[in-house]
């Protein structure tokens, strides 16, 4: 499992999109959106994987994790407001 380099997050439409290393675009539905302590919290599932992300609302810093069958990916990054 490899982590994508860039995501597009559309909170209004509840969608997260990215383009995989092979050039294939993928979209995942955001099942839950919350705001707590200055963080935008997102959760969803994609096939047999669950994911969660937190985005700092003041600085755009991101932490996210993806959990699958005996696989966990944890990554950090930053968002650009478009």
pLDDT by residue (tens digit) across 59-70? Answer: 989 999 999 999
Q: For the stretch 31-62, what's the b/e string if a residue is b when 16 or more beta carbons lie within 10 angstroms of its beta carbon? A: eeeeeeeebbebebeeeeeebebbbeeeeeeb
- Read off the pLDDT band of 74 (50, 70, 90): very high
The model's pTM is 0.85
Residue 80 has pLDDT above 90, yes or no: no
- Position 7 scores a pLDDT of 83
CA distance linking residue 74 with residue 71, whole number of Å: 10
């Amino acid at each position: 499992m490899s982590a994508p380099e860039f995501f597009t997050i559309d909170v209004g439409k509840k969608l997260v999109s990215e383009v995989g290393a092979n050039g294939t675009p993928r979209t995942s539905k955001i099942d839950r959106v919350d705001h707590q302590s200055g963080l935008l919290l997102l959760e969803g599932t994609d096939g047999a994987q669950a994911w969660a992300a937190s985005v700092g609302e003041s600085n755009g810093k991101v932490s996210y994790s993806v959990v699958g069958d005996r696989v966990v990916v944890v990554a950090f990054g930053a968002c650009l407001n478009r």
